[in-house]
Amino acid sequence: MGPSGALRAALWALLLPLISAQEGILHAFSNDNPLLKKDYCITYNPSWTSLPSSLSSAIPTKLTILTPKLLCNSSDVPHDIMRDKAAVVMRGNCSFLEKAWIAQGLGAKILLIASQTGLDTPSGDRTMYKNLSIPIALISNVDVLDINKSLGNNVSVTLYSPPLPEFDFSMVVIFLIAVLTVALGGFWSGMEELEELKAAASSDNTPVSRKTSESIILNPVKVVVFVVLSCVMLVLLYYFYQWLVYIIIAIFCLASSISLYNCLQVLIRKIPFGQCRISCFNTAFEVRLFLLAGLCIAAAVVWGVFRNEDSWAWILQDILGISFCLNFIRTLRMPNFKSCVILLGLLLLYDVFFVFITPFLTKNGESIMVEVATGPFKNSEKNYGNMLEASVQQSAPHEKLPVVMRVPRLQFCTPMVCGLPFSLLGFGDIILPGLLVAYCHRFDVQTSSSSVYYISCSLAYAVGMVLTFVVLSLMKMAQPALLYLVPCILATSAIVAWSRKEMKKFWEGNNYQDQSGSYAEEEPQPQCNQKAGRDEAPGSF
């Protein structure tokens, strides 16, 4: 085995315990009206059950719903009621294999076990399934009730498990959104830096005025505090999701409406028309900006009201999310490369820990990061050891955190039915690398280096995203994007600085904070030096 084979084996050894239960699709249709049909998620053990890979190769079987029967004894049901049918019984009191042996003995073709406590992998004595011929699958009890309600009593079902596509083209849309947002956010930050430097150069007797009220400087101490608070918030969301999700939704609506206004008003001000003003409380307002503010608020409110409409609400969420990321990259400023390394390094460890390590620490083997990002699945229930939650319905079963870009999957696959119909990319995977791209562009502006840092870092981010998607396609499971993005952008930025013999200046920062916390110009004007020390102070939390 060569080095590449050994590396692949080591990766699979690390990731194999995190692979979830084998998921499949139950296709149900009414025998009285074949146009009435619906797909439902099931889980099964591939060691016991082999399902066809397409609907056309699956054989329909008439469904009989026997819940709340448990089928732990052959006398629980009449002997002929299950013959040549797909039988649904309730989970509990005996093992899945015991139910399967009884169902097979009674002539059933398929055994479906209705669960109120989640769709985990069917398991049991491995020596017992060798002579078992009927498929066994778990289905949510809520879905069983929906079949009876939506399709009636005369229903047939087929079970199949389509393979995951090698490449989902929705990732191309995600890629374009991420790269363009990072590049545009970094460009915007650099252009603001250029405007501030021009304003400083043109003023002889007035203080140099940076936008300290709009900007926040992340020094190393604030970076550590930020990462610690992120860890605490993620853990709180995992355990108190059903309450905190509504607070996050409210914050997102407020922050995204402000961000959308900040992004659009820059474009509106470039238009030389419609600049009429109205006076109110001794202050003049541009009518077009007032209307723009109303439009941005309305967009956030509409998303807040219809956020669970999967058919179109994702478009509005992505628009608000892009504006949020752009405004965040512009507002949050890194003073030097050292702070960027500390921030991205700590958050890389944070990302890997909460994606790859936490499944070994949680009682139900869940990744905290993935669970919080995707939210609770519809009809899902958490099982803590042998203790089950008292209520079958969760407080917020459909709510998802608005902290991701969402693009619908463009190819039909099992995750579309089993609660993940979208490809996702977290805001953090855009904002955090974007802060380094923004610093690189500001450094280019300060040193007149022809945008070499900005362009190289933006290209490195694009390469890191491609690498993320390649690994995602190979592993068929969620990936911490920062694991691939951070090394790409940090290494590229460092190589450019070394090759240009500017590493010390790039590491310490050219034009931002000195250790006392005040701005220090590299070559300050003598008559403005004292004023700059008094008037210019970094924004703070």
- The 8-class DSSP code of residue 511 comes to S
The pLDDT score that the predictor gives to residue 77 is: 80
Catalytic-labelled residue, pool 143, 168, 318, 351: 351
The pLDDT score that the predictor gives to residue 434 is: 96
The pLDDT score that the predictor gives to residue 97 is: 81
Q: Which helix (H) or strand (E) holds 426?
A: strand 422-426
The pLDDT score that the predictor gives to residue 214 is: 66
| Residues 179/465, Cβ–Cβ less than 8 Å | yes
Catalytic-labelled residue, pool 143, 168, 318, 429: 429
The pLDDT score that the predictor gives to residue 122 is: 62
**Ordered mean pLDDT values, 10 residues apiece, the chain (541 residues):** 40 34 85 89 82 86 88 80 88 83 87 80 60 85 89 90 78 93 95 85 56 71 92 90 91 95 90 71 76 94 91 93 95 92 93 85 77 59 30 50 87 76 87 95 88 96 92 74 93 95 88 42 42 37 26
Is residue 143 part of the annotated active site? The answer reads: no
- The 8-class DSSP code of residue 513 comes to B
- Bond from prior residue into 68 cis (ω within 30 degrees of 0): yes
| Residues 139/40, Cβ–Cβ less than 8 Å | yes
Q: Which residue has the tokens 């309600």?
A: 149
- Say if residue 130 is exposed, middle or buried (CB neighbours under 10 Å; 0-12, 13-18, 19+): exposed
Total number of residues shown for the chain: 541
Q: What are phi and psi of 406, to 5 degrees?
A: -125, 130
| Residues 37/29, Cβ–Cβ less than 8 Å | yes
pTM value is 0.75
Tokens of 361: 């620490």
Alpha helices in 353-451 (DSSP H): 368-374, 414-417, 428-447
The pLDDT score that the predictor gives to residue 342 is: 95
Is residue 351 part of the annotated active site? The answer reads: yes
Residue-wise burial string across 10-38, b where 16 or more C-beta atoms lie within 10 A, e elsewhere: eeeeeeeebebbbbbbbbbbbeeeeeeeb
Q: Could you give the CA distance from residue 16 to residue 19 in angstroms, rounded to a whole number?
A: 6
SS3 breakdown of the chain: % helix, strand, coil, rounded to 5?
50, 15, 35
The pLDDT score that the predictor gives to residue 386 is: 25
The pLDDT score that the predictor gives to residue 129 is: 63
- Picking from 364, 346, 360, 348, the residue whose alpha carbon sits closest to that of residue 239 is 364
The pLDDT score that the predictor gives to residue 405 is: 92
- Say if residue 166 is exposed, middle or buried (CB neighbours under 10 Å; 0-12, 13-18, 19+): exposed
- Say if residue 107 is exposed, middle or buried (CB neighbours under 10 Å; 0-12, 13-18, 19+): middle
Residue-wise burial string across 451-471, b where 16 or more C-beta atoms lie within 10 A, e elsewhere: bbbbbbbbebbbebbebbbeb
